[in-house]
Amino acid sequence: MESKIENEMRLEFISKSANEAFARIAVAAFASQLDPTIEELADIKTAVSEAVTNCIIHGYDKKQGIVKIFARLKENEIILEISDKGKGIENIDIAKEPLYTTKPNLERSGMGFTIMESFMDNVDIESVVGLGTKVTMSKVIKSKKENEESDDEFEMITKE
C-alpha cells in the first residue's frame, strides 16, 4: 500500500546567518505535529541548523542567495530537503569526513555532516559544482503513540 503524504511546507529565506534560528525553529514547529520527544526535536533542530549553516557559509560564501527548505511529514517520518544554488561541493566523500573543513580560519569544526548523519536516520547529499547543493534527510519519530501500540501488543501477548 502506498502511504499518503500527510503534510508539506516550504520555506525560503536569504542566506543570512541570523536566519538559522528562524529556520530550525520553523522546522521544529512543523515537526511537532508528529509528537516527537524533546530529544528527537533537538536532533532535528541541530541537523537543520547544520544544513542551513552549510548553505550560508559554504554554498553562498559571502554572496547573498536563497536557502530553500522543503519539509514533508509522511506517517511518522519527517523528510527534509535543504538546498542552495551556491557553489556546490567538489568531493562529497571528503566533505563528509569528520573534522574536514574548508574554513578552519572561521573556527568551523568540520562536524556538520557527521552531526546530521548521527542525528537523522538518513542523509543524502546531491551537489553540482557551480549549481548548488541539496541535502535530503529523514527521521522516523518514535512517537508516544507507537510506544502505546507496543504496550498494547505486549498486553495481547501476555493475555494469550
Partner 1 sequence: MESKFYEKDKLLVFRIADEIDDFSVQKIRRRADYEIERYMPKKVIFDFNSVTFMDSAGIGLIIGRYKFAKMLGGTVELANLTSSVKKIFEMSGLLRLIPVTNLEVS
Q: How many CB atoms lie within 10 A of CB 139?
A: 22
Using the minimum distance from each CB to partner 1, give the nearer residue, 54 or 127: 54
| Residues found near partner 1 in the complex (CB under 8 A) | 17-18, 20-21, 24, 39, 42, 45-46, 49-50, 53, 56-57, 98-99, 106-109, 111-112, 114-115, 118
The sign one gets for the Cα dihedral 133, 124, 109, 11 is: positive
Q: Which residues of 40-62 are buried (b: 16+ CB within 10 A; e: fewer)?
A: bbebbbbbbbbbbbbbbbbbbee
For the annotated catalytic residues, the residue numbers are 50, 54, 108
Using the minimum distance from each CB to partner 1, give the nearer residue, 114 or 138: 114
Identify each DSSP E strand in the chain by its residue range.
Answer: 7-14, 66-74, 77-84, 122-128, 132-140
SS3 label, residue 125: strand
Using the minimum distance from each CB to partner 1, give the nearer residue, 7 or 118: 118
> What is the maximal distance between C-alpha atoms in the chain?
65
State the minimum distance, in angstroms, from the CB of residue 34 to partner 1: 19
State the minimum distance, in angstroms, from the CB of residue 119 to partner 1: 9
State the minimum distance, in angstroms, from the CB of residue 131 to partner 1: 23
Using the minimum distance from each CB to partner 1, give the nearer residue, 45 or 85: 45
**Which residues are CB-neighbours of 72 under 8 A, at least 6 positions away?**
5, 7, 8, 78, 79, 80
